Amino acid sequence: MVKYLKQLRNLLLRKVVYRRYAIAEGFYSGIRVRLWAKNKLVIGKNFYIGRDSFIETDAIIGDNVILANRVGLVGKYDHHYQKIGVPTRLASQIRDKDYDWHGLNSTIVIEDDVWVGYNSTVLSGVKIGTGSIIAAGSLVTKDVEPYCIYGGVPAKKIKARFDNPESLQQHIQLYKANYKR
């Protein structure tokens, strides 16, 4: 019974609450999740977003992506902090209709098969390559190579996801055969 209630909740979130966004099947949302995008939010199949996480920027997210608990996808330029004579708190912000500063065309792209770890933050304009993992507590400010593990503040490459090229190629073949139709 609980399983069906969760499925119903996620269907209602996808079809009603977040209907202005393009969200594919298999959407799962933890509690206290917020989604907002000024222009575009596209989420692929089998997406998981953990509790207390939020997306507050334009984003394109692939299939089979995990955002752990307390993950934030946020804009770099959400407030016009260079407005002369105006405190940042009172300056225009990206949510305003007349906002005309940086960040308007800055989108996060997260490709397929990505896992963003607990309490990580990804800034707008970043691309996270297919198959990558972001370690818990990381701040992602630059693009991430495919099939690599990144971590830290700011996030840097730690190592390749797979120990050898043969394992990577086998993973890619099996992933394509089983999940990309």
Interval 27-39: pLDDT, tens: 999 999 999 998 8
pLDDT band at 74 (very low <50, low <70, confident <90, very high): very high
The count of residues in the chain is 181
17 neighbors 9 (Cβ within 8 angstroms) = no
The percent of residues above 90 in pLDDT, for the chain, comes to 69
Model pLDDT, residue 21? 94
What gap in Å lies between CA 157 and CA 134, rounded to an integer?
9
Model pLDDT, residue 77? 67
pLDDT band at 118 (very low <50, low <70, confident <90, very high): very high
What gap in Å lies between CA 27 and CA 42, rounded to an integer?
12
Which two tokens mark 6?
């969760």
Model pLDDT, residue 12? 82
The percent of residues above 70 in pLDDT, for the chain, comes to 93
Q: Is pLDDT at 98 greater than 80 in this prediction?
A: no
Please give the mean pLDDT across all residues of the chain.
90
Model pLDDT, residue 107? 94
Model pLDDT, residue 124? 92
What gap in Å lies between CA 15 and CA 26, rounded to an integer?
12
Model pLDDT, residue 143? 98
What gap in Å lies between CA 6 and CA 20, rounded to an integer?
21
Query: What is the per-residue pLDDT across 123-166, written as a single tens digit (0 to 9) for each?
Result: 999 999 999 999 999 999 999 999 999 999 999 999 999 999 99
Mean pLDDT of 81-107: 73
User: Which position has the token pair 């770099």?
Assistant: 76
